Amino acid sequence: MAAAKLLSLRKSVVEAAGLLVRSGAMSLSHHGNFSVRVPGADRMLLTASGSFDNLRPEQLALLDLEGQLLEGEVDPANAEIVHMHAVVYKHRPEAGAVVHTHSPFATSFAVAGRPMDCWYEAMVRTGMTDGVPLAHYGPRGSPMAIANIAAALASGKQIRAVLLENHGVLAFGPDPAGAARAVVILEESAHLALNAELLGGAKVIPPELRKATLERRDEFARAGVRRS
Ligand SMILES: [Zn+2]
């Protein structure tokens, strides 16, 4: 792939990571890792160090989906999580970018070992109609953790993220901006659900109304921009 195209993919990750920091969806440490699929190749670009602060395009390393480093460098902590990203690209062909964070409200559900249901309209519109499944705990990036993530990814068609038990969030989207949006909506949703616990608990959107919500969204999208 042309160097200019790879540079534009790198920049799209840096931009989306900055958006996540500015949104307030990150944990206090701003810890996370982000990757983008290289179209037409079994390859990805992955952030090489563990914070989204001051990320630069050249800090993304090029790897294949078996975890082999092809270009750049990856620090030891991030070498552990290569397969955590690759497993998403292998199991979800629609994933163009993957992001992992410790977003505090969503991670609260992960440490409680509780999957998230579809209780917020923004989840439906972001492609989380089947909620957010839980991937059972395994040491980060280990074969056990990867098998658990693969099982969670297979548990629902309309999902855009999984909760990593006792750890954090793994979300994906068609591109880095879409993956970042999934984290923000997930974090909002977890925050609202925790508040709703004080009021008797979050109410699930019935499946037929989730479908109606998507149909209405698509109908308006088809109609295009209205102009006077
Ligand atoms: Zn982590």
pLDDT at 1: 65
99 contact partners, CB below 8 Å, separation of at least 6: 16, 17, 20, 32, 33, 34, 35, 170, 171, 172, 176, 179, 180, 182, 183
What's the CA-to-centroid distance between 125 and ligand 1, angstroms? Answer: 26
Categorize the per-residue pLDDT at 51 as very low, low, confident or very high, splitting at 50, 70 and 90.
confident
What's the CA-to-centroid distance between 132 and ligand 1, angstroms? Answer: 17
Give CA–CA dist 189/219, Å, rounded.
25
Give, for 60, the enclosing helix (H) or strand (E).
strand 60-64
Q: What is the mean pLDDT of residues 202-209?
A: 96
What's the CA-to-centroid distance between 32 and ligand 1, angstroms? Answer: 6
What's the CA-to-centroid distance between 126 and ligand 1, angstroms? Answer: 23
Q: Where are the domains of the chain?
A: 3-223
211 contact partners, CB below 8 Å, separation of at least 6: 129
Q: Which CATH number fits domain 3-223: 3.40.225.10, 2.70.98.10, 3.40.50.300, 1.10.287.3240?
A: 3.40.225.10
Q: Residues 89-130: pLDDT tens digits?
A: 999 999 999 999 999 999 999 999 999 999 999 999 999 999
What's the CA-to-centroid distance between 101 and ligand 1, angstroms? Answer: 6
Tokens representing 74? 């990856």
What's the CA-to-centroid distance between 164 and ligand 1, angstroms? Answer: 9
What's the CA-to-centroid distance between 205 and ligand 1, angstroms? Answer: 30
What's the CA-to-centroid distance between 102 and ligand 1, angstroms? Answer: 6
Q: Does the structure show a pLDDT above 80 at 214?
A: yes
Q: Residues 145-192: pLDDT tens digits?
A: 999 999 999 998 999 999 999 999 999 999 999 999 999 999 999 999
What's the CA-to-centroid distance between 183 and ligand 1, angstroms? Answer: 14
Q: What is the mean pLDDT of residues 43-47?
A: 96
What's the CA-to-centroid distance between 100 and ligand 1, angstroms? Answer: 7
What's the CA-to-centroid distance between 24 and ligand 1, angstroms? Answer: 17
Give CA–CA dist 66/89, Å, rounded.
11
Query: What's this model's pTM, rounded to 2 decimal places?
Result: 0.95
Closest C-alpha among 178, 176, 161, 184 to residue 57: 176
85 contact partners, CB below 8 Å, separation of at least 6: 33, 35, 44, 46, 98, 100
CB contact at 8 A, 210 and 122? no
pLDDT at 48: 82
What's the CA-to-centroid distance between 157 and ligand 1, angstroms? Answer: 24
